Structure 1
Amino acid sequence: MSQADTIMSNPKLLSELVQLTSDAGDVILKIYHSDNFNVQNKLDESPVTAADLAAHHYIMAGLKRLTPSIPVVSEEDANSLSVAHNNTCYWLIDPLDGTKEFINKNGEFTVNLALIEANKPSFGLVGVPVANHVYWGGNRLGAFRQLQNQLEDASYIQCVKTQIPIRVLASKSHLNDATKQLIDQLGSSTLIQAGSSLKFIRIAEGLADYYPRLAPTCEWDTAAAQAVLEGAGGSVKQASGQSMVYGKADILNPHFIAMGLS
């Protein structure tokens, strides 16, 4: 039995992981509403805030308590990257995905926890702090959405067949010329812009159809939401058509296409 199966078959553990994701969102919101973000730039010039770091420490402590045998890779701990190269099963987390959206205060940021097994995301949790929603699921496990803080209130979510005009998602921060050209080639389409891993979630909920990403992302940006989308019947493939691979020597993803039911 995979670790993902173990989690889904253990209601108490699943509930605690969902609660951890929700509570990490509350940690972020306290700083979000304080206006004291303490914004700094990492070596790659990407921003990091006090909320990124606070959520990182909260999630790390929670996962150590709930799943002590599973190591963790976090965006906010560069030293943890080696974990992925030495383990076939590990957590991959982005404590605050959409830091630019957080700084701009548009609410479109998420908390991402993904379980990686054999170089694939087998299970993922995505929290949306501003909406107080948590999504979770994985390939062959289904996909679910909790609107409040009770696991029994969870509802099943599923992709829908592609609509015409096709509803295309694009990043608010990274809508480049290559992406615009690809969207033009699709024919009749409606453009929907969203931040962070919410783009995957919109497809999983049946609210969008297609998300081409022809700009840089890292593995922690996509893994959790990919698992949820696959659980909802969708797919995430490299632009070449090959499967996404996690735990690579280079943490950057190739260009990819996420979509619902064809």
Structure 2
Amino acid sequence: MIPAMDLRLLHSSPCFSAVRFPSPTPLCRRLFIVRSSLPFPNEKAKYHKELEAAAEVVVRACRLCVDVQRSLFSDEGRIIEKNDQTPVTVADFGVQALVSLELSKLFPSIPLVAEEDSGFLRSNNLVDPVVSAISDKTSFDEESLSHADVLEAIDRGGKNYFGFGTKPATYWILDPIDGTRGFVKGSQALYVVGLSLVVEGEIMLGVMGCPNWVVDTSYKSTTDVQGYKNSSPGLGIIMVAHVGCGTWTKRLKDILDSSTKISSDWTRCLVDGCCLVPKARFCIPESQTWESLPLSILYEARTDDDDIGDKEIRLLPTCCGSLCKYLMVASGRASVFILRARSQTVIKAWDHAVGVICVHEAGGKVTATLHL
């Protein structure tokens, strides 16, 4: 089992799986107000102020992603490739800047660990588009928001977080966009904005926003998963979790509609209760095949919905990054997420931290198993 650990890094292991086991006043902005009350009493959640702030800023980050994605293919220079051959966009930098700016304003003593730094932004002349993307999403005065402010905000959560000196007792972990490969393919792909809070090595809360999530509780079969590609985007969900308080979801569309009262429409999430392998729904990274996993020795994978035999498993064709798979498991739409990493692979905290707390609070468990 991977404990809620020192999440400065989740060190690599060959197998990473998720399986079942038993307020501040909302900030007023120029364009919209996020009405985000928690689904449980504040007194039950020690970090309710932090969770409310995290939920609010993730909602605004999702709005930023939707806006950028609409113009992604009409503007040159918005998609670039990093040194590790992964894509990055204005939205990645914009979300990191937005979250850094807002959280540092509300909780100035809590540092941020995040994926991006401003070096790529500077060398690819993307500062202007990023400032433009976040200008109407922040609580800061647009005219006073300088390039230097945005670059500093991004670097505040840059990759070199060992520069803290003494390891901080409390810190945020952000993945601006988990699933950028899908994000750049079009508005119907799934991707996740993920934010979590670590205190004394324990993950205390997490928020995931998925703007293109299709809100349909009956969505569990392989056919339904494939149906994502033909569904209307933009319905979306936000998922929140707090230690001891469970995992909950709400429709993003409702949150962003300021004319809608949404005080009691949270839905409690529970992981899939399936106990039989042939009845379970598995998901794995797009970069891996079922044949590369140890379980393939015992079970063959099927992607159709016909009767699954005793020596077969049902494999869901989900897309995009790891956080999307965690979201699938935490919501009960997938039973198991398996990730096999090479022994020398460094697994980044931002790819997993928020998924760990959401799955755990939904009744599941995250484990690391060493296979020699």
Which band: TM-score by shorter chain? Answer: 0.7 to 0.9
Aligned in 2, Cα 1:49/1:239: closer, same or farther, shift over 3 Å? same
User: Is 2:313 the counterpart of 1:200?
Assistant: no
**Aligned position for 2:192:** 110
User: Is 2:55 the counterpart of 1:18?
Assistant: yes
Distance across 1 between alignment mates of 2:292 and 2:165: 31
Root mean square deviation of aligned Cα: 2.6
User: Is 2:181 the counterpart of 1:144?
Assistant: no
Aligned in 2, Cα 1:83/1:174: closer, same or farther, shift over 3 Å? farther
Give the counterpart of 1:69 among 109, 132, 135: 109
Higher RCO, Cα 8 Å, sep 6+: 2
Distance across 1 between alignment mates of 2:159 and 2:333: 35
Cα deviation for residue 81 of structure 1 reads 4.4
Percent identity of the aligned residues? 23
Cα deviation for residue 11 of structure 1 reads 5.4
Cα deviation for residue 118 of structure 1 reads 2.9
**Aligned position for 1:251:** none
User: Is 2:295 the counterpart of 1:182?
Assistant: yes
Distance across 1 between alignment mates of 2:165 and 2:206: 16
Larger radius of gyration: 2
**Aligned position for 2:15:** none
Question: Is the CA contact (8 Å cut-off) linking 1:47 and 1:100 kept in structure 2?
Answer: yes
**Aligned position for 2:286:** 172
Cα deviation for residue 233 of structure 1 reads 0.8
**SS at structure 2 position matched to 1:224:** helix
Distance across 2 between alignment mates of 1:175 and 1:28: 30
**SS at structure 2 position matched to 1:236:** strand
Aligned in 2, Cα 1:231/1:44: closer, same or farther, shift over 3 Å? same
In structure 2, runs of 5+ residues without a counterpart are 1-41, 117-157, 214-235, 256-261, 300-310
User: Is 2:240 the counterpart of 1:160?
Assistant: no
Aligned in 2, Cα 1:138/1:85: closer, same or farther, shift over 3 Å? farther
Which letter does structure 2 place at the counterpart of 1:121? I
Give the counterpart of 2:181 among 94, 100, 112: 100
**Aligned position for 2:361:** 231
In structure 1, runs of 5+ residues without a counterpart are 242-262
- Within a 5 Å distance, the mapping from 1:31-46 to structure 2 comes to 31-34=68-71, 35=73, 36=75, 38-46=78-86
Aligned in 2, Cα 1:85/1:104: closer, same or farther, shift over 3 Å? farther
Distance across 2 between alignment mates of 1:127 and 1:213: 22
**Aligned position for 1:258:** none
- Relative to the length of structure 1, the TM-score reads 0.80
- Within a 5 Å distance, the mapping from 1:114-129 to structure 2 comes to 114-129=196-211
Count of residues paired in the alignment: 236
- Within a 5 Å distance, the mapping from 1:75-86 to structure 2 comes to 75-76=115-116, 77-83=158-164, 86=167
